[in-house]
Amino acid sequence: MSEHTFIGLDVHARLVAAGVLDARSGEVRSCNAPPRTAELVTWLQAQGAALSVAYEAGPTGFGLARACAAAQIPCLVAAPSRIARAPGERVKTDRRDALRLAKLLRLDELVAVRVPSLGEEAARDLVRAREDARGDLMRARHRLSKLLLRRGLLWEGSAWTEGA
C-alpha cells in the first residue's frame, strides 16, 4: 500500500473540496474537484490507480458512491456523527474537512454507512416528502386557527374536514 493515494471529499451541490494524501511521497494537498459526478469520477481516476475515496453522508445522496463503484474506485461513505472532533477544533472549512477525511481514511478510522439501493433511496425520499407535507399542513392549520381566534372566530368543525 506504499503507492496508495487517499482522497477525502467535502461534497456540496456546487463545490467539492478534495484533500489528497499521497502515501508514497507523504505529500498532502488540497484542491477543488469538479462538482458534477461524472466529471468528479474522471478526476478521481486521473489521481492514480491505487486510491481510496471517502466523503460524508449528506444531502447530496449516494450517487457519487454508486458512480465510484461502477468505475471500480473504492469509496467509503462516512457516518458524520461518528467522526471524532478535537475539543478545540472550532473552525470548520471545506478544505480542512476534506484533508481530515483523507487522513482518517488512511488510518482506517472512518465508520461507513450502507449505501442504499436506488429503490430504497427513492422510498426514503417519498416518505420524507410525505412527512414534510404533513408537517406543513399541520403548521398551516395551526396558523389559521390562531388567526381565527385572534379575530374572535372559532372553527366549529372537527379535524378540518367538510363533513364534520
For 86-112, write each residue's pLDDT tens digit. 777 777 789 999 999 999 999 999 999
Same domain, 94 and 13: yes
Domain membership of residue 161 (yes or no) is: no
How confident is residue 163, by pLDDT bands cut at 50, 70 and 90?
low
**Tens digits of per-residue pLDDT, 4-50?**
999 999 999 899 999 999 888 888 999 999 999 999 999 999 998 89
Who has greater pLDDT, 46 or 164? 46
Helices 37-45 and 63-70: angle between axes, nearest 10 degrees? 40
Task: Give 112's contacts (C-beta < 8 A, 6+ positions apart).
Answer: 76, 77, 78, 79
Residues 97, 123: one domain? no
Res. 156: pLDDT tops 80: no
Considering the chain, what percentage of its residues have pLDDT values greater than 70?
Answer: 95
Residue 163 lies in a domain: no
Q: Are residues 19 and 94 in the same domain?
A: yes
* Residue 115: predicted pLDDT: 96
Q: Give this prediction's pTM.
A: 0.81
Domain CATH number, residue 71: 3.30.420
Both 100 and 59 in one domain: the answer is yes
As a whole number of angstroms, the distance between CA 99 and CA 4 comes to 15
Q: What pLDDT, on the 0 to 100 scale, is given for residue 1?
A: 46
Using the 3D structure, point to which of 66, 86, 106 is the last residue of a domain: 106
For residue 41, tell me if it sits in a domain. yes
**Cell numbers placing 101:** 477525511
Residue 108 CA to residue 147 CA, distance in Å, equals 56
The answer as to whether 15 is a domain residue is: yes
Q: Is residue 59 part of a domain?
A: yes
- 160 falls within a domain: no
Residue 143 lies in domain: 117-155
